[in-house]
Amino acid sequence: MTFNKKLENIRTYEAGKPIELVVREFGIEPKDIVKLASNENPYGCSLKVQDAVSAIISKMALYPDDSMIKLKSALSKRFDVGNDNVIIGSGSDQVIEFLIHAKADSNSKILMNSVTFAMYEIYAKHVGAEIVRTSSQEHDLDEFYEIYREQKPKIIFLCTPNNPTGDAIDSNELLDFVKKIDSDTLVVIDGAYMEYACAKDSSKEIVVKDLIEQYLNVIYLGTFSKAYGLGGMRVGYGIADSKIIKELYKLRPPFNITTLSLEAASVALSDEEFVQNCITLNFEEMKRYEEFANKQKIDIINSYTNFVTLCLNSNQNSTRISSLLLQQGVIVRDLSSYSMNAIRVTVGTNEQNSHFFKLMAQFL
């Protein structure tokens, strides 16, 4: 059978290995498996969320409230914007899919950082768009601007903090950049880890309200999968001028968010204390990674997220080391597919991190 030609050079997204797979492949007990591969919140989610979801568990027979009014209102209140500035997706992944389909086709170029979130490329290929990348590993907005002027991309992705490297763009620099972009180019600011960045350094904070009111060609993306601890519920969002949101809505399948997910995300937003505690613990534990890297004489990228990127020395091989860790039940992300001899490790709980350090020290 033949398929759409555009699918030919798309590589299937390689998600962090699930615990179930490691149990099956290596016969390791689930309790001995440490999953540090997908930047989930190691402390889980707020107990208030669990209670709220339990309380509505019997509502599964009915379709969800497709207006999503409760979550939409909670988000618009949080960001001080209107309900018509918000779209909710099955993960912010789905919003990325909508916006690429809404804006790009096979005659378009899409500009992104040399190393960045893999889904931008996958969705770009769905529509046959040409992917243009910068050359520097960190976002260099001067380089972005130069390429923008030459290539006239339809969409520019800025991932801040960036996945898989953890570095973040200075918000003043970002604003200076956005100012120079013409109104028909969509600038996407993916803030999947922004809660962490804001806590570490206020100069990385994006004030979403000001940004989208001033720039009608900007969309900000957020997710409940990381700091809020709801990766399994699949909820993300986009915030932009209502004209953008209106177009994205045309691509939304009905009932794209489940009743339980809508409830979970709404309640998660109201328990800010839980999130802030997790973020504090995250940066306390991250210090141990910095100490570990120093001691082992490997580079660690200064991270504004809940993960660290350990850049190995040339006599160490990231693929080999990830696979040795996996055989011992520790799942991390090998970055060799990003042409980096590095591994990305989610900052786990104190105990998980100690376990990682012990094994990693042996394998280095």
Ligand X SMILES: *Cc1c(COP(=O)(O)O)cnc(C)c1O
- Note the residues at the interface with ligand X (CB under 6 A): 91-93, 117, 159, 163, 190, 192, 223, 225-226, 231, 236
| Residue nearer to ligand X on the CB measure, 333 or 355 | 333
Query: CB nearest ligand X: which residue?
Result: 91
Rounded distance, CA 230 to CA 216, Å?
Answer: 30
Tell the smallest beta-carbon distance from residue 223 to ligand X (Å): 3
Q: How far is the CB of 167 from ligand X (least distance, A)?
A: 12
Q: Quick one: 192 or 308, whose CB is closer to ligand X?
A: 192
Question: Which residue, 189 or 359, has its beta carbon nearer to ligand X?
Answer: 189
Closest CA to 329 of 13, 44, 40, 28: 28
Closer by beta carbon to ligand X, 93 or else 121? 93
Beta strand pairing call for 130-133 and 155-159:
unpaired
Q: How many CB atoms lie within 10 A of CB 88?
A: 22
Q: Which is nearer to ligand X, 226 or 355 (CB)?
A: 226
Shortest separation between residue 286's beta carbon and ligand X, angstroms: 17
**Minimum distance between the CB of residue 320 and ligand X, rounded to whole angstroms?**
25
Q: How far is the CB of 327 from ligand X (least distance, A)?
A: 26
**22-40 burial: b if 16+ Cβ within 10 Å, else e:** beeeeebeeeebbbbbbbb
16 versus 128: smaller Cβ distance to ligand X: 16
Least CB distance to ligand X at residue 363 (A): 26
